[in-house]
Amino acid sequence: MIEVHLDAWIREFGPKGDELVEAASVAQMLDELERRYPRLRYRLRDETGQLRRYVRVFVDGEDVSRGGRTDASLSGARTVDILHSIAGG
């Protein structure tokens, strides 16, 4: 089981606390979160399944979200942090 931490903005559409998820990849983890919390659908990934450009996924502290890909393995992982970046100027 992987402990998933979501930032405050994402929690508005999903769980209010940390979640425990069984998944082999980031894509499977996101599928499970979206199954549990349908309001997350299309907030983290676009219609093609790629991460939205403002979403960052960290597996045990390492950013695995480069290029929007979700195929990173969660084998041996303990925690996943999902954050959204803030743009502006």
- What the chain holds in terms of domains, given with CATH numbers, is 2-84 (3.10.20.30)
Helix, strand, coil percentages, rounded to 5, for the chain: 25, 30, 50
Neighbour count for residue 41 (Cβ, 10 Å): 15
pTM here is 0.91
What is the per-residue pLDDT for 69?
Answer: 82
Mean model confidence pLDDT for the chain? 92
43-61 tens-digit pLDDT = 999 999 899 989 999 999 9
